Amino acid sequence: MGNPDNKAPDKVTDDKDLIYTYNRELFYHFDREKGFTQAVHYQNPDNQVIIKQSWDAAEQRLEEVKQLVLIGKASPVAYYMEKILMEVPMLAAYMEISKWRVKRHMKPGVFKKIKPEILARYAEIFEISVDQLRKPDFIK
Amino acid sequence: METTKTIINYTHRQAGHCESGATSNLFKFNGLELSEPMAFGIGNGLYFSYIPFLKIQFAPMISFRNLPNTVFKRSTEYMGIEATVVKKIKDPKEAMEMLDRNLERGIPTGCQVGVFQLTFFPPEYRMHYNMHNLVVFGKEGNMYHISDTVMEHPQLLSYDDLLRVRYAKGAFAPQGKMYWINHPVDRPIDLKPAIIKGIKKTVYEMIGIPFPLIGVKGLRWMARDIKKWPKKHGEDKAAFYLGQILRMAEDFGTGGAGFRYIYGAFLKEAGEMFNNHQELLEASDMMGRTANKWREFTYIGARNCKNRSKPEEDYGTLSQKLLEIAADEENVYKKLKNLKF
């Protein structure tokens, strides 16, 4: 494990290795000679990979839900919820209805019978039109 | 329509952690130079909890920091500075009006927000995370001037966008929470009693709470669990969980390595304030080395996640390293516990 006692294992990197360069952040560093210092730089490439991994996982979850919608095992509510990275308790909080009802709305059979005003609220939260909610564009 | 314009002469300084940065900047505005590490240390920013049965964004809940608003509330309280925290405002319009009234009175105001809809925030961080803090210091027509210490520069946010992030929903929803320092600090403040109170409380929270998932105990629990992840959840999920620990430790608003650097810097400054208090300075050095070990851990972990098929270190070794870190941290807190000032 190197020699963490004396030297911070930080390295200055080429920006070309980086995935995310929107904003430089302030980081603290420590080494026994210089003590604590601050530096403003991009997140290091290794950590950027981790951030990307987390987005990749979200994309994969979305793809899985999409397949479920296509085979009629889940409703578009499930798809759009995943698309805006939400989970049931959070969506229920935005909808101001019970988690139990949100879960039911994810069943295709129940989804078909949702009242228009509830559907409109979902569409508003998902930032799409009611038509898009009824029929996501990946359904032919 | 007439445009109103109020911009308070507020200095935006970037910081490692959103809340201690906001707190430190608010102090500076009110005439008291207090560094970010000082605000963080006195206000008990340091923490650890591991709640495996609560899943946040599909991974066990891990926190390296205290609950939102702890830093602001405790630092002002311990230093005896009059401040206001409005925890919950039911009506969003009312919350925006309160903010406007503050700005008109020249009071820069801290707000808790969610980052998912925070338009200027780095896109890679825009997940549903509700414990973020920013300071509003001006209004021009429909646009608010914002100091967000994650960002290099001050930002602008529209009325609707600000209202939306102040009323993000889900875990730790901000519910319009806002806070400010009531008036400029008009008397000399002796930081020493506040430092002592702050250290005592953090020591208690890290080694004194009789609950196995908080503080050093929680860290050990997590270390033991990590070893079981690949078998229990499979390689992919284990890597995802590990990735979440690393993100909590190194991503926005930690100053790196799960706030341990900021705390070390606080101990250093505190040591100097107590006439180069030998033991405080030693504790600061120990914390700095622990922080480096954390960073070493996150680097190895990150590379492991990257090359999932042939990891450099297995989860057993990672677990061992965390146990080492836990022991190191425990030594720091024990040392701090026995300090005589």
Three-state secondary structure string covering B276-289: CCHHHHHHHHHHHH
Whether residue B312 is predicted with pLDDT greater than 80 in this model: the reply is: no
Contact yes or no for B303 and A5 at CB 8 A: no
Tell me, yes or no, whether B38 lies in a domain.
no
- Residue where a domain terminates, one of B181, B199, B231: B181
- State whether residue A53 sits within 8 Å of chain B by CB: yes
**Which of B239, B244, B292 has its CB closest to that of A8?**
B292
- pLDDT bin (cut points 50, 70, 90) of residue A104 is very high
The reply to whether B204 and B155 lie within a common domain is: no
Asked whether residue B69 is assigned to any structural domain, the reply reads: no
Contacts of B284 in chain A (CB under 8 A): 36
Q: Mean pLDDT throughout A2-18?
A: 53
Task: Please compute the mean of the pLDDT values over residues B180-201 and round it to a whole number.
Answer: 96
- Are B244 and B50 a contacting pair, CB within 8 Å? no
Per-residue model confidence (pLDDT) at position A136: 94
Give the integer Cα–Cα distance in Å for B201 and B41: 10
Q: Which residue has the higher pLDDT, A5 or B7?
A: B7
In this predicted structure, what is the pLDDT of residue B314?
A: 84
Kindly state whether A3 is in contact with chain B, defined as any CB-CB distance less than 8 angstroms: no
Do B91 and B223 lie in a common domain? no
Q: The dihedral of CA B225, B226, B232, B233: what is its sign? A: positive
Confidence of residue A46 (pLDDT cuts 50, 70, 90): confident
Same domain as B229, residue B296: yes
- For chain B, the residue count is 341
* Domain coverage including residue B274: 191-337
Residue B286, pLDDT score: 97
* Within a domain: B77: no
Q: Does A54 touch chain B (CB under 8 A)?
A: yes
Mean pLDDT of B167-175: 93
Q: Say yes or no to pLDDT of A54 above 60.
A: yes
- B242 and B156 share one domain: no
Query: What is the C-alpha separation between B245 and A53, in angstroms, rounded?
Result: 13
Q: Are residues B88 and B163 in the same domain?
A: yes
Pairwise CB contact (< 8 Å): B302 & A49:
yes
pLDDT of residue B261 exceeding 80, the answer is yes
| B285 lies in some domain | yes
Task: Please give the average per-residue pLDDT across B138-149, as a whole number.
Answer: 97
Position A91 pLDDT exceeds 80? yes
Inspect the interface and report whether the beta carbons of A28 and B16 lie closer than 8 Å.
yes
Average pLDDT, chain A: 88
What's the mean pLDDT in B291-319?
83
Nearest to B169 among A38, A43, A93 (CB): A93
**Hey, are the CB atoms on A93 and B252 less than 8 Å from each other?**
no
Of B140, B156, B181, which one is at a domain's C-terminal end? B181
User: Is the pLDDT reported for residue B136 higher than 60?
Assistant: yes
CA of A140 to nearest chain B CA: how many angstroms apart?
30
How far is it, in rounded angstroms, from Cα B36 to Cα B265? 9
Cβ contact, residue pair A57, B240, below 8 Å: yes
Radius of gyration over every alpha carbon of chain A, rounded to an integer in angstroms? 22
**Bridge partners, residue A24, by sequence:** none
Average pLDDT, chain B: 93
CB A134 within 8 A of CB A120: no
Cα of B243 to nearest chain A Cα, Å = 6
Clarify whether residues B210 and B329 are in a common domain. Answer: yes
Closest chain A residue to the Cα of B261, Cα to Cα = A28
Write out chain B residues lying below 8 Å of A57, CB-based: 58, 240
CA atoms of B297 and A52, how far apart (whole Å): 19
CB < 8 Å from A in window 289-318 of B = 289, 291-293, 295-296, 298-300, 302-303, 305-306
Assess if residue B73 is contained within a domain. Answer: no
pLDDT value for A4: 39
Which pLDDT value is given to residue B218?
96
How much is the pLDDT for B119?
96
Say whether both B241 and B294 belong to one domain. yes
A55-64, B48-57, B110-119, B259-268: which range is least confident on average? B48-57
Does the CB of A33 have a partner CB in chain B at under 8 Å?
no
Nearest-CB residue to B293 (from A4, A84, A87): A4
- In B, residues 155-184, which contact A (CB 8 Å cutoff)? 169-171, 173
Question: Is there a contact between B128 and A10 if contact means CB atoms under 8 Å apart?
Answer: no
Measure in Å the smallest separation between the Cα of B136 and chain A Cα atoms: 20
B 214-273 residues inside an 8 A Cβ radius of A: 239-240, 243-244, 246-247, 250-252, 255-257, 261-262, 264-265, 268
Q: Is the pLDDT of residue A5 over 60?
A: no
Is A86 within 8 Å of chain B by CB? yes
Q: Residue B307's pLDDT band (boundaries 50, 70, 90)? A: confident
The pLDDT value given to residue A14:
61
The answer on B325 and B236 residing in a single domain is yes
- The region of weakest confidence among A26-30, A48-52, A77-81, B8-12 is A48-52
Residue A6: the pLDDT is 43
Domain assignment present for B52 = no
Q: Are residues B204 and B164 in the same domain?
A: no
Position B309 scores a pLDDT of: 64
Domain assignment present for residue B22? The answer is yes
**Same domain for B297 and B232:** yes
Domains of chain A: 15-46 (no CATH), 74-134 (1.10.260)
Whether B324 has a pLDDT exceeding 80, the answer reads yes
Segment holding A5, helix H or strand E: none
Find the CB nearest A26 among B14, B57, B264: B14
Same domain, B201 and B146: no
Same domain, B106 and B225: no
Local confidence band at A8 (pLDDT 50, 70, 90 cut-offs): very low
Query: What CATH number is attached to the domain comprising B27?
Result: 3.90.70.10
Q: Which of the listed residues B163, B181, B199 is the one where a domain comes to its end?
A: B181
Whether residue B46 is predicted with pLDDT greater than 90 in this model: the reply is yes
At residue B48, the 3 state secondary structure works out as strand
**For residue B37, which residues of chain A lie inside 8 Å, CB to CB?**
36
Helix (H) or strand (E) holding B188: none
What's the pTM value of the predicted model, to 2 decimals? 0.91
Q: How many distinct structural domains can be found in chain B?
A: 2
More confident residue, B307 or B261: B261
Per residue in B193-225, pLDDT (tens digit) is: 999 999 999 999 999 999 999 999 999 999 999
Cβ of B122 within 8 Å of Cβ of A10? The answer is no
Sorted by sequence, the CB contacts under 8 Å of residue B239 that are 6+ apart come out as A53, B304, B305, B308
Instruction: Please report, rounded to a whole number, the percentage of residues in chain B having pLDDT higher than 70.
Output: 97
CB A55 within 8 A of CB A22: no
Within-domain flag for B300: yes
